[in-house]
Amino acid sequence: MTLLDVKVSDLGRYTLIAPRGELDVTNSSRFRDELLTAVGSARAAVIVDLSRLGFCDSSGMGVLVQGYKRAQERDIAYEVSGAHGRVATILDLTGLYEGLHVRADLNMAVQALSA
């Protein structure tokens, strides 16, 4: 099993969810549960910070899309930040980099939500 830690923080208007480690088929269902719960309880927006994620396979990408769709259903904002290395490459190759509103870092995601 691949190691994944998920931290969820309430930042007032925003809920921050930050996975750390590697996200793959062995742990994507746990991440999905945490992400969808966070989206379901968020007040105005969710930020998924990928800055501490070293790897993400297609199952993890699917979870990110599920979170986005759930946020749309709830009419709340959904931002992704901090993708780098292999994670950024996969987001780019799949077209999700633009579709999920990926920002360079957490500060840029907060700025985008504040605009």
Count Cβ atoms within 10 A of the Cβ of residue 31 and give its class: 0-12 exposed, 13-18 middle, 19 or more buried: buried
Count Cβ atoms within 10 A of the Cβ of residue 21 and give its class: 0-12 exposed, 13-18 middle, 19 or more buried: middle
pLDDT tens for the chain, 115 residues: list them: 579 999 999 988 899 999 999 999 999 999 999 999 999 999 999 999 999 999 999 999 999 999 999 999 999 999 999 999 999 999 999 999 888 989 999 999 999 998 8
- pTM of the full structure: 0.95
- Give the integer Cα–Cα distance in Å for 41 and 83: 24
- CA of 65: how far to CAs of 11, 22, 109, in Å? 22, 17, 17
